[in-house]
Structure 1
Amino acid sequence: MITKLPVSIVLVEDEPRFRAGLLTLLNFYSNNGNAEFQVVGEADSMDAALNLIAQQQPNLLLLDLELAQGDGITTLTRLKSLSYKGKVLVLSGHEEEEWIFRAMQAGAYGYVLKDRVATQLCDAIATVLNNQIYLAPEVSTVFFRLFHSYTQTTIDAAQGIHLTEREKEVLEWLVKGASNEQIASELYITVATVKAHLTAIFEKLKVNSRTQAIVKALKLGLTQ
């Protein structure tokens, strides 16, 4: 059930006919009591979309992935710098798993294929406005297939890194932000020994700095 409170929406779509169809569909939902939708802006490019979102801060963004200027994935990424608190629902003609995965990874709350909009848009909007992810069966299948592929790649990479128990302890403290002196104190070893362990960790992770080591450790699930 969609909230009865007004839902402000920005449409980002570079095909005028499809955008007009979305307006008609949203008006139909409003007239049938599903919700009160207010389209507060329309854009056909990334820059225009970002300006509108910054000004209007809509509850919902309906976003196409291919725009006349810019693209939807970059738009999703740049939304983070605007502190956008609303939800993003992608409406796309792309059925390929890579597009779906990248959109969800970039922060979309749902993904609807354009040829399914007439039957799925209402449910999709209700779902994302309730802070839930919307993926129809035909989309979720390809998404999770690629998700499992990426997960297995990460697992395989992590299994290829063999840290000693002491190195794992040093890495744990490194991720927590501890200095060499603090790590030495916590593990009852010398600072020189900490540095030696860090050198070995960096070599095994194939990184050159503490920051890179922390990022890679978290990415590979080597620490919490």
Structure 2
Amino acid sequence: MDTSMMESEGRPGSAGWPTRVLIAVRDPDLVGDIRTALTAAPYRFHLLGVVDPKIDPALVAWCARGDAVLIGSEEWGALGRRHPNEFAALNERHTVVVICTDEQFADVLLIKRGTPSGLVVQDRRHALSAEMIEVALHGNLVISEAQFDRVRRNAHRLSIVGQLGQRDRAVLNWLATGLSNEAIADALKVSISEVKVSIASLMRRLKLKKRVALAVFAVSAGLSPSGGRGRSAVNAQD
């Protein structure tokens, strides 16, 4: 753990003091990006330090040192799954901003055991900035225009799923398991040609150009042969 920058002076969030921030991220590249963004605006942020979270209750004790916690998406999800009580305490007592990559976007939005104060989805084509972090600290979602468009399109696709016929919905559910057309046909006790017709219909209705994109959408939507849908699809690629 890097505690070289941790200080006890000053009251967190008091007038005249920058926002005190603790970074709880394991990815060294992401830590570097966050450090660069924070140190570019020292009048706004005071970096308390960086913890290398092993996803245990001790993280919460360290978080008590700061105003805000910038936590990686993987660490956030693991803490919620393994230590729900500490996870709840972290959410109640601190401003929590989840930092994730574009590829992790779907998983972050679907965390069920709490809601972060803010979320920054880092588009690797653009540098993480102090302004982005500051906006997220005020409880906002920070995404690029392209990411927003994808979320909007996939929200529309989810509404279409509810209108599908029984056969098309069953095929889409099985696509989420990664099975081949032949295996899906066997599972549904229909012909391979019928499965292919359903897939073509699904691609047309959901405006997806490839079978793999259709399968990714089904996985992101939390579809399964049992018919459940426990997640919201935001990460399907056109």
Q: TM-score, normalised by structure 1?
A: 0.49
Return the structure number with greater helix share.
1
Q: TM-score, normalised by structure 2?
A: 0.47
